[in-house]
Structure 1
Amino acid sequence: MSLHWTLFRGMLAEEWRLHTELFGGRRFAVFPLLVTALAAGTAWFLSLTEVTVATVAAGLHGLAFAFGLHTGSIGFVGRDAMENLLGDITMLVFSGRTLPVSRRTLLSVFLVKDIVYYGVLFLLPLTVAVAPLAYARDPALLARLPLLWATTTATFLFGAAVTFAFVGLSTRGLPGRVVGLLAAAAVGLAWAAGVDVGGATPYALYADPSLATAAIAVAPSVALAIVGLYAYDPSVRSGVRTTDAAFGRWRRRLGDDTGLWTKSLLDLHRSSGGIWKVLFSGGVLFAVSAALIFLTESVTGVEPSIGLSFGAILGLTAFTTYNWLTQFDDPDDYLIYPVGVADAFAAKFRAFLVLAVPNGLAYFALAVVWFGADPAHVAVGAVLLVGIELYLFGLTVALAGLQPNEFLFDSVLFAAFGAAVAAALVPVLIVSLVVTPVSTTLLGALAAAALLLGAVGVAVYRRAVPRWERRLLA
């Protein structure tokens, strides 16, 4: 027990030190307060509508699940699976190479550390932010906030455990991958057949708290975490990877004068996971969108607009796609080559258009075919998706340049980003989720707003590039 406690404290200190060194102690220390303020403002706004606390709670569980999936999927960034869980920045998780500590012990403590760390840093502020809405609807609901925090934290564990298990199974080669895919297919078929899959999640515990639902809700997460820990084979190592000289061929086919567009696409293609990373990120957002939309319908009794809802939410694929396109870049590297900084941003924009827009539209088409939608809503939803993607691209470039991964926990930049995203997305989501029927006039207004958002995104991007160029050349 003392060993586990020592490892746990060390990993917590390491995580905190990493973030404070990246973003500055004060700017990062106020991050939970910022999350609380932004979420509380959103909750207050929702209190002016007919949205219930139950709907907000369902949305928070969906958000926690997506966050958990993202945390667990870090292992998919590299084919070295858990060895590349956090690269070279978290040394304790790799200390099994040099110290008499088993890899499974380190990984289990690491998982617990993530649950505690992000449960306090991220999920607790979100729970506190629900208080104004709960008080406005029914003060007695305030007593359920501790349960909400517990179940959203358990949902985060569930999401992390899902991809944690897939990572472990992937180290067992083709048989392990087949087992994982068959398990996922079985769950999908059960859901499609009308089985109450949600009854085996922590959300069921929040909806109907009891010892029985607690056992049922927690058991899958624990089982998946155990599968990940024991399926993981620490002896697996990636073989030597080789590739052909494809740069010239790709460049000729793309008609790329500078070669920077080609470089961006090849960097992503040759990285572990390749372009599948982009598709996986879109798939996660698609699943979260479906869960949020149908949970909202079950709670409110209002049938959301499939076209508008999926169009708005899938527009968020823009941020993850731009992250993947820039994860290999150090802005200073471009200064040693005879290319302009503006050329580097232009290449990222072209690569973004080639990857993000088709990826989002493909999942949007899947949603329309699968769930059905009114043709007018489909048309406006598609415009919304592209407009929001362009808006988020311009916003991210303006705030973070070529390093979007490093500003997520910078309180100042995150506040600006969150406020700008909320201003564009929250009104659209309210209309798409709770307004029925959506009038022709309102559909026209949404289409015009989508076009405006796209234009604003492109304009912001163009104004931001000269500023980043001056900063990098200073």
Structure 2
Amino acid sequence: MLELFIGMMKEEWRIHSTMFGSFSFAMFPVMIFGIAFMGSFLLPLMRTALPSGNLALVIHANFLLLGFMVGAFGLLAGEVMNRRFGQASLLSYSARSLPLPERFIFLNFVIKDTVYYFFLWVFPFGLGYIAASPFTGVTLLQALLLLLTLTLSFLFGLCVIFFLSAVYARSKRALWLLVLVLGSGWGTLAVVTGMNPALLFPPLLLYSSFTLVNLLVSCAILIVLFGASIMLFSPEYSGPAKKFTNAFAPLVQNLSFFPHPPLAAKDMIDMYRSGSVVGQTLFSFLIPLGVIWFFLSLLGRYLPPHGLLFMFAILTGVIGSTMYTWVTMFDTFGPYACLPVAVSTLIESKITSFSLLQLVPAVFIAVVATLSGELLYLIPAAVLCLSVSFYSVAVTVWLTGLSPSVLVYDVKVLFTYIVVVGIALTILTGLAFASPDYAFVSVILIMPAWLVVRKAKVKWDAVDPAGF
């Protein structure tokens, strides 16, 4: 097992270092360390707006969300082996040629991803906070406790999403039943106790009051979720064989008003037949945003009356912009290189498909506004959400072209994205908090987004297609 684990770790490093360059990728955890170190000095200023308990809640929620995003690779057991690895001869494909059980390989794969991303994201952040503790008046034990609880938050996100996706691979009906039961239990607990159940999040309880019992309970829950996920794993598709009629020609006709109907039709068919429309919407959009809403609702009394909905609309727009990765994950430019298709043409098509998917965040904001009793602010919140989403995706296209996954781990790309998008979001947040009507100012972002996409198409047409 150790030999297979080490081989997978080396493989993961080689993939990332080949994509981004060894130095650039190695600097990524250093950047996370720097952000945490410098951010620690802003804590006294932040505490003037939010109590320390709510700051801890926000940080733990972020690392729970990180676990969700990392664990989302398990949407379907078959997707992990086929979509992620394709035809590459990776160790995770060795079950096809070596006498190694699929579950054994998958167990190593999950442990490898857990350890790998812990040292890539969680440990550098905690280390930055620990390094700043002598200058911020935080004791070493408090800093170490935060590293422990953030690690547990990350593991909770990863194990929960992995467990749900394993159930999803076995039976979609079982997943929806489980979600219904958990949602009903959550709502019942909130009504009976009169408190937000997010406050009962085990790592948060451990951080606020460290006891051996709380630590053991947190670890026990993680072990149960992880063990159940591995036991439920099946490399074989459990459903009946699927047969699809030829939907391409009719879909091209229905999408004739698009700039490139055949390419848009291909994107729609890819997402539908792979199950990504349902899987990605559930695991990469609805569940993360649902968790964010529950945690953000605890901060409502510190925001303007409409501030919570508008802040959530901005976050929904940012996460909604990641739908661009949904339409670019099925193919690369290589197969198109022998056809009279330019990179800019593919970018136009992907943005068109992305625009169709923006119905999901728009409907989601409408549901949230209705359930929260703020239907009056639905239109400005929806405008704010979609403006942020299109602006963010324009920056993503400019920086990454048809390879948006580069955005996460290339230091230069990530830093540029944070600055360019962060400045706009900060200004919009301030305006939206000042007055709901100012949310309509976000429409101005459409103009720079259009200009950025134009520059992106020129930029990526000039890049060697072999780079894709």
Distance 1:469 1:410 in 2: 21
1:273 equivalent in structure 2? 276
2:445 equivalent in structure 1? 453
Q: Is the 8 A contact 2:77 2:235 kept in 1?
A: no
Structure 1 residues without counterparts, runs of 5 or longer: 433-437
Identify which range, 207-216 or 274-283, moves more after superposition. 274-283
- Measured after TM superposition, the shift of residue 321 of structure 1 is 0.6
Report whether the alignment pairs 1:419 with 2:419: yes
Q: What amino acid sits opposite 2:232 in the alignment?
A: A
- Measured after TM superposition, the shift of residue 325 of structure 1 is 0.8
Q: Is the 8 A contact 1:115 1:156 kept in 2?
A: no
Report whether the alignment pairs 1:469 with 2:461: yes
1:214 equivalent in structure 2? 215
Q: Is the 8 A contact 2:64 2:156 kept in 1?
A: yes
Q: Is the 8 A contact 2:297 2:308 kept in 1?
A: no
Taking structure 1 as the reference length, what is the TM-score of the superposition?
0.85
Counterparts in 2 of 1:54 and 1:114: CA distance versus 1, 3 Å: farther
Counterparts in 2 of 1:408 and 1:83: CA distance versus 1, 3 Å: same
Distance 1:215 1:241 in 2: 45
Q: Is the 8 A contact 1:204 1:217 kept in 2?
A: no
Distance 2:317 2:458 in 1: 26
Counterparts in 2 of 1:393 and 1:220: CA distance versus 1, 3 Å: same
- Measured after TM superposition, the shift of residue 124 of structure 1 is 2.2
- Measured after TM superposition, the shift of residue 163 of structure 1 is 2.1
- Measured after TM superposition, the shift of residue 183 of structure 1 is 4.5
1:341 equivalent in structure 2? 343
2:245 equivalent in structure 1? 244
Q: CA RMSD in A?
A: 3.2
2:296 equivalent in structure 1? 293
Alignment of 1:180-259 (within 5 A): 180-194=178-192, 196=197, 198-236=199-237, 240-255=241-256, 256=258, 258=260, 259=262
1:23 equivalent in structure 2? 20
Q: What amino acid sits opposite 1:249 in the alignment?
A: P
Distance 2:79 2:271 in 1: 17
Q: Is the 8 A contact 2:324 2:354 kept in 1?
A: yes
1:80 equivalent in structure 2? 78
- Measured after TM superposition, the shift of residue 177 of structure 1 is 3.7
Counterparts in 2 of 1:428 and 1:212: CA distance versus 1, 3 Å: farther
1:282 equivalent in structure 2? 285
- Measured after TM superposition, the shift of residue 52 of structure 1 is 4.6
What's the secondary structure of 1:315's corresponding residue? Answer: helix
What's the secondary structure of 2:244's corresponding residue? Answer: coil
1:172 equivalent in structure 2? 170
Counterparts in 2 of 1:142 and 1:184: CA distance versus 1, 3 Å: same
What are the superposed Cα offsets for residues 8-60 of structure 1, whole Å, 9 maximum, x if unpaired? 33332222222112211111000011223345555556654424544333222
Taking structure 2 as the reference length, what is the TM-score of the superposition?
0.86
Q: What amino acid sits opposite 1:123 in the alignment?
A: V
1:435 equivalent in structure 2? none
Identify which range, 112-121 or 462-471, moves more after superposition. 112-121
What's the secondary structure of 1:471's corresponding residue? Answer: coil
2:7 equivalent in structure 1? 10
What are the superposed Cα offsets for residues 348-389 of structure 1, whole Å, 9 maximum, x if unpaired? 222111112x1111111121112223735x443222211111
Distance 2:428 2:42 in 1: 13
Q: Is the 8 A contact 2:78 2:236 kept in 1?
A: no
Counterparts in 2 of 1:339 and 1:85: CA distance versus 1, 3 Å: closer
What are the superposed Cα offsets for residues 243-299 of structure 1, whole Å, 9 maximum, x if unpaired? 21212211211224642222222222222333552354220332132133124348x
Distance 1:334 1:95 in 2: 29
Distance 2:355 2:292 in 1: 22
Alignment of 1:372-411 (within 5 A): 372-373=373-374, 375-376=376-377, 378-411=378-411
2:160 equivalent in structure 1? 162
What are the superposed Cα offsets for residues 86-125 of structure 1, whole Å, 9 maximum, x if unpaired? 4356833444555554444443343333332222210123
1:312 equivalent in structure 2? 314
Counterparts in 2 of 1:399 and 1:161: CA distance versus 1, 3 Å: same
What's the secondary structure of 2:408's corresponding residue? Answer: coil
Q: Is the 8 A contact 1:75 1:85 kept in 2?
A: no
Q: Is the 8 A contact 2:36 2:128 kept in 1?
A: yes
Counterparts in 2 of 1:46 and 1:361: CA distance versus 1, 3 Å: farther
2:365 equivalent in structure 1? 364
Of all paired residues, the percent bearing the same amino acid is: 24
Q: Is the 8 A contact 2:170 2:238 kept in 1?
A: no
What are the superposed Cα offsets for residues 394-450 of structure 1, whole Å, 9 maximum, x if unpaired? 101100011112332111111111222322234555787xxxxx443xx454532x2
Distance 1:55 1:426 in 2: 20
What are the superposed Cα offsets for residues 202-260 of structure 1, whole Å, 9 maximum, x if unpaired? 22211221112222323322211111111223454666543212122112112246422
Distance 2:35 2:78 in 1: 37
Identify which range, 154-163 or 420-429, moves more after superposition. 420-429
Alignment of 1:117-128 (within 5 A): 117-128=116-127
Distance 1:135 1:371 in 2: 43
Q: Is the 8 A contact 1:72 1:161 kept in 2?
A: yes
Counterparts in 2 of 1:193 and 1:107: CA distance versus 1, 3 Å: farther
Q: What amino acid sits opposite 2:33 in the alignment?
A: T
What's the secondary structure of 2:463's corresponding residue? Answer: helix
What are the superposed Cα offsets for residues 144-180 of structure 1, whole Å, 9 maximum, x if unpaired? 2211111111111111111221233234346744664
What's the secondary structure of 1:243's corresponding residue? Answer: coil
Distance 2:223 2:19 in 1: 33
Q: Is the 8 A contact 1:69 1:162 kept in 2?
A: yes
